[in-house]
Amino acid sequence: MLDRLRSGGKVSGREQLSLTFRLAVPAILAQAAMCLMSYIDAAMVGQLGSAPAAAIGLVSSTAWIFGSFCYGNASGFSVQIAHRCGAKDYDGAKRILRAGLAATFVLSLVLCLTGTVVSKPLPAWLGGNPDIVGDATGYFLIFSLSLPLFQVAVFFEAVLIASGNIKVPSIASIAMCVLDVGFNALFIFGMNMGARGAALGTALATGCSALFLMAYTFRRSTELRHKPSFLQPMRRFLGQRSLKVEWKLAEGAESPANTILGKALKISAPLWLQNLIVRGAYIAATVLIAPLGTVAIAANAFAIIAEGFCYLPGYGMQDAATTLVGQSLGARRKDMAQRFAFITIGSGAAMMAILAVLMWIFAPQIMHWMSTDPDVVALGARCLRIEAWAELFFGISIVGYGCCIGTGNTMVPSLINILSMWVVRIGLSLLLIPRYGLEGYWMAMATDLILKGVIFALYCFSGMFLRSSRRKSQAF
């Protein structure tokens, strides 16, 4: 069906729905494994008491910032690959792969150095209590040192998904989760490393996933494989051949804006800006929550992890939406891109709404899996029940964002996320936290997600997200 899509053949409505779920289901299963891994990690650390859990929760928002930069780096190249595969220009896709691997790895080294430098003062900057500062510093330092491995894993996962192969990245994610649980059990309990053990176990599992995905892409991927050796692309790129050849597209490029790197910057720069500003809002929220005490910090961290099971269909559909919209535009089939947007957004939001009902019903039991502290369980359950009312709209924004990324249009969705986060969530948090405590923050979060979902629904269902797609798809 993907080949017919790329070749301009007919794809019926039933086949569109089938193709959507064939791409989405493996991604949803991978998300489920990742969510389960987070549950198990949290449960393992939670057995050590509230302090280690609070230490991880304190720096988790900052860790998300660094991790999201890695995703933004990969998106700048994976979107180009989706468009090239949609146009059946596989040689062009391979050139983008080689250039992207080198560029994103260098950027990950910068992130690694930055994280290492700030790891010691960071917990104090965030207002952490002295009893959790040591664990927080150790956790964030190990996380920072593992960022190059994380970037490689994220990059190859993104390019495989962009090429239409979601099954292998999903298998790799599930395997990584299994390894993570095993490594964490060894380091957290076997070697008594506590929060640091959780970071080290995740780093090793990520490294294994990165090596597998890289080898598979260069040796086995139908659209992206290289012969005779998966080392050949790096030798060619780092050798004495002109670097400019590797940065340019198949038809050649005159100006820097038309090179692979130039196009990647156009896509990634708004994502970087969004990441910095939006994740900065998460840090601001952490600073607002920290004075509420260890129970509130731990309950917030566990509730965020617990809420993750509602995201499973949303982020799975987001991967499918990015691939299908991107390849439809690469094949010059704008009408097909719009139909896939309707299918993926509607399906993802509906499934998230069903899971939200289950989360509302079983909120205490879900929290009890991760913590034995009754105060943490009770507070976290109340927060989950507040958030359940917003999950339908959150699903719309998650999948709608993936549709926008598939077009290469990242500026508008980034602005929507930035304004919604700072004006609505943080603005309301300043008003509600003093009165309602942690529950006030989750009320503000739910309001933000509902408003953002409405905006994304209007933007995507009206077709506005495709208005600049003709120029962008021709450029790619």
Counted residue by residue, the chain has a size of 476
Note the pLDDT of residue 42: 66
CB contact set of 183 (below 8 Å; sequence gap of 6+): 200, 201, 202, 204, 205
Helix, strand, coil in percent for the chain, rounding step 5 = 85, 0, 15
Q: Please give the model's pTM, rounded to 2 decimal places.
A: 0.78
Q: Is 47 exposed, middle or buried (0-12, 13-18, 19+ CB in 10 A)?
A: middle
Q: In the structure encoding, which two tokens stand for residue 124, read together?
A: 């104090």
228 upstream amide cis, omega within 30 of 0: yes
Average pLDDT on 190-195 reads: 85
| Under 8 Å between Cβ of 70 and 150 | yes
Q: Is the pLDDT of residue 253 over 70?
A: no
Contact 233, 101 (CB under 8 A): yes
Whole-angstrom CA distances from 202 to 59, 144, 208, 209, 455 are 16, 12, 10, 11, 36
Q: Which amino acid is at 315?
A: Y
Given a cut of 50, is residue 239 above it in pLDDT? no
Residue 354: pLDDT over 90: yes
What is the Cα–Cα distance from 157 to 279, expressed in whole angstroms? 22
Find the largest Cα–Cα distance for the chain.
Answer: 65
Reply yes or no on whether the pLDDT at 386 is more than 70. yes
202-238 pLDDT, tens digit each: 999 999 999 999 999 999 998 998 764 444 544 554 4
**pLDDT for res 56:** 81
Quick one: which of 293, 246, 267, 301 has its CA closest to 76?
267
CA distance 100 to 249: 12
Residue 470 has pLDDT above 60, yes or no: no
Q: What is the pLDDT of residue 254?
A: 45
121 Cβ contact list (under 8 Å, min separation 6): none
- Rounded to whole angstroms, the Cα distance separating 284 from 227 reads 49
pLDDT of residue 230: 44
Band (35; pLDDT cuts 50, 70, 90): low
Residues 6+ apart with CB under 8 A from 2: 19, 164, 327
**Average pLDDT of the segment spanning 457-471:** 80
- 286, two tokens: 């952490």
Q: What span, in angstroms and rounded, lies between the C-alpha atoms of 235 and 243?
A: 12
Single-letter residue type at 168: V
Which tokens is 34 given?
């990742």
End-to-end CA distance of the chain: 22
Range from 238-252, 305-319, 339-353 that averages highest in pLDDT: 339-353
Highest mean pLDDT among 240-249, 320-329, 448-457: 448-457
pLDDT (mean) for 240-254: 43
Q: How much is the pLDDT for 116?
A: 96
Query: Which pLDDT tens digit goes with each residue over 54-68?
Result: 788 778 878 888 988
**Residues 197, 47 contacting (CB under 8 angstroms):** no
Residues 6+ positions from 413 with CB-CB distance below 8 Å: 274, 400, 401, 404, 405, 456, 459, 465
Q: Is the pLDDT score of 473 beyond 60?
A: no
What pLDDT sits at residue 432? 96
CA angle 409, 389, 69 (to 5 degrees): 35
The phi, psi pair for 344, rounded to 5°, reads: -70, -40
Comparing 33-47, 187-201, 215-229, 270-284, which segment has the lowest mean pLDDT? 33-47
Average pLDDT over residues 274-297: 84
Residue 243: is its pLDDT beyond 70? no
Residue range 358-374, pLDDT digits in tens: 999 999 998 988 788 89
Q: What is the pLDDT of residue 456?
A: 96
In whole angstroms, what is the distance from residue 216 CA to residue 226 CA? 10
**pLDDT band for position 110 (50/70/90)?**
very high
Contact 460, 405 (CB under 8 A): no
Q: How far apart are CA 419 and CA 443, in angstroms?
A: 17
pLDDT at 249 over 60: no
Q: How confident is the model at residue 350 (pLDDT cuts 50, 70, 90)?
A: very high
In this predicted structure, the answer to whether residue 241 has a pLDDT above a threshold of 60 is: no
Distance CA 289, CA 393 (A): 25
Taking residues 121-143, report their average pLDDT. Answer: 87
User: 134-162: per-residue pLDDT in tens?
Assistant: 888 999 999 999 999 999 999 999 999 99
Distance, in Å, from the CA atom of 40 to the CA atom of 64, rounded to the nearest integer, reads: 19
Q: Tell me, what's the pLDDT at 286? A: 80
Provide the 3-class DSSP secondary structure of residue 88: coil
Q: If pLDDT is split at 50, 70 and 90, which confidence band does 294 have?
A: confident
pLDDT digits (tens, 9 = 90+) for 390-414: 999 999 999 999 999 999 888 999 9
Band of residue 245 on the pLDDT scale cut at 50, 70, 90: very low
The arithmetic mean of pLDDT across residues 172-201, rounded, is 88
What residues contact residue 435 under an 8 Å CB cut-off, 6+ apart?
A: none
Contact 180, 39 (CB under 8 A): no
Residue in 288, 267, 333 with CA at minimum distance from that of residue 78: 267
381 and 367 Cβ atoms separated by less than 8 Å: yes
Could you give the number of structural domains in the chain?
A: 1
Q: Pick the residue with more confidence: 75 or 241?
A: 75
The tens digit of pLDDT for each residue in 409-458 reads 889 999 999 999 999 999 999 999 999 999 999 999 999 999 999 999 99
Mean pLDDT for the stretch of residues 68-97: 91
Structural domain range at position 65: 2-475
